[in-house]
C-alpha cells in the first residue's frame, strides 16, 4: 500500500487522507522552504480532527485558535492552569507534581492534569498559531515558557531556568525553558506561537542568532547560549544587543520561531 | 477585496501598474507586484467615501532589490526575511530583529537624527546596518501587514513613528518632531506645515460643533493635562531616496486603507491612525466638542487630524488611543480604565 509522508512530523499516512493523522498537517499543500531554510508551520484547517492515543483532538478558530479534546477514559493531558476554557463536569482535574517552585503573573505556577472521559478545551490569549509537535520515544523538545498549550500523559515534563536570557526582552532575571521528554511511549505537545511560526532544521555545527523573544522551541540537541550580537554598540554606555545563539548538535536539530512576542510575567 | 476570476493565469508575466505602490512592473509567478509584493490578482474595491483597502505584501511574496531580496513569511505578524548578497546592505530598527545567520555583519548607526531616541518600551532605539552575505529576518510584534513603499530618486514619504522596519541603504532619514502645544492659526494664514493647530470654528453642519473653547489655556489643560501626548505621535519619520530609487518597509498594525486626496480635498482622521502620507499632504489638529457641551462633555472632546490634499494618505485600523484626554481640572485622573488596557496592549 502506497503511503503519504507528512512533511512536518514524518509520519506515514494512507493515501486517502488529506491531513496527517498524527499532527493534523495538511498533506496536499506545498511545502515551501525559504532560501535560509525556514519553512512555515502547517496551517491546521479549522475544525479538522486528529487523534492521539485513543482520544480525539479538534482545532477551532483562526486568529486565537482553541483546541477541544474528547478524552478517552484511559488518557489524560496536562496544561498550565490558566489555559483551560471549558470542560465536562466529569473530567477530573489533578495537580501535577513539578520539579521546582516557580511563579507566573504574580501567582504560584501550577500545571494540572485532566483525565477522561469527557470534553475539555484550551486556548491562550494571543493571536497566533497552534503547532502540533509529536514527541517520539527517547527524544526531548525544549519550549519557551508559557508557550505549551497541552501535552499528552505519555510525555514527561520538567523546566529549567535560563538566567540572563530574557534581560533584553523584559528586564527580568531570565526565562524558563519547558522540557518535554518521551521516555516510554511517544506522545504529543501542542504549542501556541504568537503571530506566525517558522521552523528550520540546523545542520550539525550550524549557528544562528535569534532574538530571545522570538524563540519558540528547539530540539534538545540544539545548544543555546546568550551572546552579544557582534558589531552593535551605541550610546553613551555602549548599549549592546543580546541574542540567543543556537547551534545544531552532532545530529543537527530543529529550531522553531514565533514572529511576535507576547509578554508573560515570570518570577 | 475580491479575487478577480481567473486573474492569476491571465495576469502572470503581464505588465501592470500597481495601484498600491504606483509603479509599473511585471506580475511575478506567484501573482504579486515585483516592487511591493502586494497581490496583483485583486480587483480594487473602493468604498463610497473613496477609501481603498491596501492589502500589504502577500505571504511568500518575493521582492528583489539589487542582487538581494526580501521574502514575506506569515500572515498574522508577517516576517520579512532578507537574503543579502555580498557587500549589499540595508538598515533597520534593532528591536524588529528575529534572527540572523553568522554571515551577516552588523554595525550600529549612531547619527540617525531621532531614530536613536527612546522607543515605545523606553529602551534605546538602535538603528543597525546589516551587510551581506547571509540571511536575517525582521518582524513587528502586533498583528498587521508588511507594506513596501518603493521610492523614486529624491522622492520622500512620511511615516508614523515606530512603524519603520527597514530601508534600503541609499534612503536617508529625517525626523519631524510634532509640536506639543496647540496654536491658533492667524486669520488668513493657512495652517503651517507639520505644526499642530487649534481650529476655532464656531459654525458646523455636523451634530457636533467644532471647538469653540474661549480659553485656549483651558483647552490645552484639558487636552494635554501636562502629559506628553501628541495626536500624531511624538514624531514622524521622513524617508528620502538619494542617488537612485530605494524603498522603505513598514509594518502597519491591523489592516490598512488609503486614499488619494485631490488638491482641494480634506479629510478628518484619527491622528494616531495615520500610517503614512505623501509630503504634499499637510496636516493640522482639529478639536471637536459635542454641541451640548458643558464641563463634563468637554472632557469627551474629540481630537482629530485634518489632512489636506493633494497626495496619498494611508491609515491603519490599530492605533494608539487619545490617552490623556480625560483629566479633571484638579488633575486627579489621567487615564480611564479602558484606555489603560489599550495602552498596555500596544506596549507589549
Task: Please give the average per-residue pLDDT across B321-345, as a whole number.
Answer: 31
Element (DSSP H or E) covering residue B341: helix B337-346
Residues of A in contact with B71 (CB under 8 A): 34-35
The answer, yes or no, to whether the previous bond of B133 is cis (omega within 30 of 0) is yes
Q: Chain B residue closest to A168 (CA)? A: B123
Q: At residue B142, does pLDDT exceed 70? A: yes
Q: Which of A36, A208, A262 is opposite residue B81, by nearest beta carbon?
A: A36
Task: Let me know: does B26 contact B15? Beta carbons within 8 Å.
Answer: yes
Task: Let me know: does A134 contact A21? Beta carbons within 8 Å.
Answer: no
Q: Which of B102, B128, B139 is opposite residue A232, by nearest beta carbon?
A: B128
Query: How close A214 gets to chain B, by Cα (Å)?
Result: 6
| Cα angle, residue A199 at apex, residues A198 and A205 outer, rounded to 5° | 140
> Where does residue A7 rank: exposed (0-12), middle (13-18), buried (19+ CB within 10 A)?
middle
More confident: B277 or A22: B277
Query: How close A75 gets to chain B, by Cα (Å)?
Result: 34
Query: How close B214 gets to chain A, by Cα (Å)?
Result: 45
Whether A209 sits inside 8 A of B139 (CB atoms) is no
Element (DSSP H or E) covering residue B189: none
Task: Please give the average per-residue pLDDT across B89-116, as a whole number.
Answer: 80
Whether A230 sits inside 8 A of B77 (CB atoms) is no
Summarised one tens digit per residue, pLDDT across range A249-264 is: 999 999 999 999 876 6
Task: Please give the average per-residue pLDDT across B141-168, as a whole number.
Answer: 92
Query: Does B116 lie at the interface with A, CB-CB under 8 angstroms?
Result: yes
Residue A189: CB atoms within 10 A of its CB come to 24
Task: Let me know: does A92 contact A153? Beta carbons within 8 Å.
Answer: no
Residues of A in contact with B100 (CB under 8 A): 208-209, 229, 243
Q: At residue B206, does pLDDT exceed 70? A: no
Probe site for chain B from A34, A197, A244 (most B CB atoms < 10 A)? A34
Q: At residue B213, does pLDDT exceed 80? A: no
CA–CA distance, A199 with A179 (Å, rounded to integer): 18
Q: Chain B residue closest to A214 (CA)? A: B98
Q: At residue B338, does pLDDT exceed 60? A: no
Quickly state the pLDDT bin for B174 (edges 50, 70, 90). confident
The answer, yes or no, to whether the previous bond of B310 is cis (omega within 30 of 0) is yes
Q: Which of B98, B116, B135 is opposite residue A35, by nearest beta carbon?
A: B135
Query: How close A234 gets to chain B, by Cα (Å)?
Result: 6
Q: Which of A40, A195, A232 is opposite residue B126, by nearest beta carbon?
A: A232
Query: Does A171 lie at the interface with B, CB-CB under 8 angstroms?
Result: no
Whether A196 sits inside 8 A of B76 (CB atoms) is yes
- Residue B152's nearest CA partner among B19, B310, B24 is B24
Query: How close B87 gets to chain A, by Cα (Å)?
Result: 16
Q: Chain A residue closest to B116 (CA)? A: A235
Residue A185: CB atoms within 10 A of its CB come to 13
* Predicted pLDDT at B327: 31
Query: Does A3 lie at the interface with B, CB-CB under 8 angstroms?
Result: no
Distance of CA A124 to the CA centre of its chain: 12
* Predicted pLDDT at B326: 30
Least-confidence region, from A236-250, B113-127, B131-145, B326-340: B326-340
How much of chain B is helix, strand and coil, in % rounded to 5? 10, 40, 50
Task: Please give the average per-residue pLDDT across B207-223, as a whole number.
Answer: 34
Distance of CA B324 to the CA centre of its chain: 21
Which set of grid coordinates corresponds to residue A252?
A: 543537527
Which set of grid coordinates corresponds to residue A247?
A: 547551534
Q: At residue B214, does pLDDT exceed 50? A: no
Task: Please give the average per-residue pLDDT across A117-138, as a whole number.
Answer: 92
Whether B143 sits inside 8 A of A195 (CB atoms) is yes
Summarised one tens digit per residue, pLDDT across range B224-262 is: 333 334 567 667 788 999 999 999 999 999 999 999 999
Query: Does A228 lie at the interface with B, CB-CB under 8 angstroms?
Result: no
Whether A231 sits inside 8 A of B74 (CB atoms) is no
If you average pLDDT over every residue of chain B, what do you get? 71
Q: At residue B281, does pLDDT exceed 60? A: yes
Summarised one tens digit per residue, pLDDT across range A208-234 is: 999 988 999 999 999 998 888 888 765
Query: How close B97 gets to chain A, by Cα (Å)?
Result: 6
Query: Does A36 lie at the interface with B, CB-CB under 8 angstroms?
Result: yes
Note the pTM of the prediction, 2 decimals. 0.81
* Predicted pLDDT at B52: 87
Task: Let me know: does B137 contact B99? Beta carbons within 8 Å.
Answer: yes
Amino acid at each position: 500500500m502506497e503511503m503519504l509522508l507528512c512533511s512536518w512530523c514524518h509520519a506515514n499516512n494512507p493515501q486517502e487522507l488529506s491531513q496527517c493523522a498524527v499532527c493534523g498537517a495538511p498533506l496536499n499543500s506545498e511545502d515551501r522552504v525559504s532560501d535560509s531554510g525556514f519553512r512555515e508551520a502547517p496551517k491546521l484547517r479549522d475544525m479538522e480532527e486528529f487523534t492521539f492515543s485513543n482520544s480525539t483532538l479538534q482545532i477551532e478558530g483562526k486568529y486565537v485558535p482553541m483546541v477541544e479534546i474528547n478524552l478517552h477514559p484511559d488518557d489524560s493531558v496536562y496544561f498550565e492552569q490558566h489555559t483551560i476554557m471549558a470542560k465536562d463536569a466529569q473530567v477530573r482535574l489533578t495537580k501535577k507534581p513539578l520539579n521546582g517552585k516557580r511563579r507566573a503573573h504574580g501567582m504560584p505556577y501550577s500545571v494540572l492534569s485532566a483525565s477522561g472521559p469527557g470534553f475539555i478545551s484550551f486556548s491562550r490569549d494571543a493571536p497566533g498559531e497552534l503547532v502540533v509537535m509529536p514527541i517520539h520515544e527517547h527524544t526531548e523538545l525544549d519550549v519557551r515558557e508559557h508557550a505549551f498549550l497541552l501535552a499528552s500523559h505519555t510525555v514527561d515534563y520538567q523546566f529549567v531556568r535560563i538566567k540572563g536570557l530574557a534581560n533584553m526582552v523584559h528586564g527580568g532575571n531570565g526565562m524558563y525553558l519547558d522540557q518535554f521528554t518521551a521516555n516510554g511511549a511517544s506522545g504529543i505537545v501542542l504549542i501556541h506561537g504568537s503571530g506566525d511560526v517558522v521552523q528550520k532544521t540546523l545542520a550539525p555545527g550550524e549557528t544562528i542568532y535569534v532574538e530571545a523573544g522570538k524563540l519558540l522551541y528547539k530540539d534538545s540537541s540544539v545548544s543555546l547560549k546568550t551572546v552579544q550580537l557582534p558589531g552593535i554598540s551605541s550610546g553613551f554606555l555602549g548599549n549592546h544587543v543580546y541574542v540567543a545563539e543556537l547551534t545544531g548538535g552532532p545530529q543537527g536539530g530543529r529550531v522553531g520561531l514565533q514572529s511576535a512576542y507576547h509578554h508573560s510575567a515570570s518570577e | 477585496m475580491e479575487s478577480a476570476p481567473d486573474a492569476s493565469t491571465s495576469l502572470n508575466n503581464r505588465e501592470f501598474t500597481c495601484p498600491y505602490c504606483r509603479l509599473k512592473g511585471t506580475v511575478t509567478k506567484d501573482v504579486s507586484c515585483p516592487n511591493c509584493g502586494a497581490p496583483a490578482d485583486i480587483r480594487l474595491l473602493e468604498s463610497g467615501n473613496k477609501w481603498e483597502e491596501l492589502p500589504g505584501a502577500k505571504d511568500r511574496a518575493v521582492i528583489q532589490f539589487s542582487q538581494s531580496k526580501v521574502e514575506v513569511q506569515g500572515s498574522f505578524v508577517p516576517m520579512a526575511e532578507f537574503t543579502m548578497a555580498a557587500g549589499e546592505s540595508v538598515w533597520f530598527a534593532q528591536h524588529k530583529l528575529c534572527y540572523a545567520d553568522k554571515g551577516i555583519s552588523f554595525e550600529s548607526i549612531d547619527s540617525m537624527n531621532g531614530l536613536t531616541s527612546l522607543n515605545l518600551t523606553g529602551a534605546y532605539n538602535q538603528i543597525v546596518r546589516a551587510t551581506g552575505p547571509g540571511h536575517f529576518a525582521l518582524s513587528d510584534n502586533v498583528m498587521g501587514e508588511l507594506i513596501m513603499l518603493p521610492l523614486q530618486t529624491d522622492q520622500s514619504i512620511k511615516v508614523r513613528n515606530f512603524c519603520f522596519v527597514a530601508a534600503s541603504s541609499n534612503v536617508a532619514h529625517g525626523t519631524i518632531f510634532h509640536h506639543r502645544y496647540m496654536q491658533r492659526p492667524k486669520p488668513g494664514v493657512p495652517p503651517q506645515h507639520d505644526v499642530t493647530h487649534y481650529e476655532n470654528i464656531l459654525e458646523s453642519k455636523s451634530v457636533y460643533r467644532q471647538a469653540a473653547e474661549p480659553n485656549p489655556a483651558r483647552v490645552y489643560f484639558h487636552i494635554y493635562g501636562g502629559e506628553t501626548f501628541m495626536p500624531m505621535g511624538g514624531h514622524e519619520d521622513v524617508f528620502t531616496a538619494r542617488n537612485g530609487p530605494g524603498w522603505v518597509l513598514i509594518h502597519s498594525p491591523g489592516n490598512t486603507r488609503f486614499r488619494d486626496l485631490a488638491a482641494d480635498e480634506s479629510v478628518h482622521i484619527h491622528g494616531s491612525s495615520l500610517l503614512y502620507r505623501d509630503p504634499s499632504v499637510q496636516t493640522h489638529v482639529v478639536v471637536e466638542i459635542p454641541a451640548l457641551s458643558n464641563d463634563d462633555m468637554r472632557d469627551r472632546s474629540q481630537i482629530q487630524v485634518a489632512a489636506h490634499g493633494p497626495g496619498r494618505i494611508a491609515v491603519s485600523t490599530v492605533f494608539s488611543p487619545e490617552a490623556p484626554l480625560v483629566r479633571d481640572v484638579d488633575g486627579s485622573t489621567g487615564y480611564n480604565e479602558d484606555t489603560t488596557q489599550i495602552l498596555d496592549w500596544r506596549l507589549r
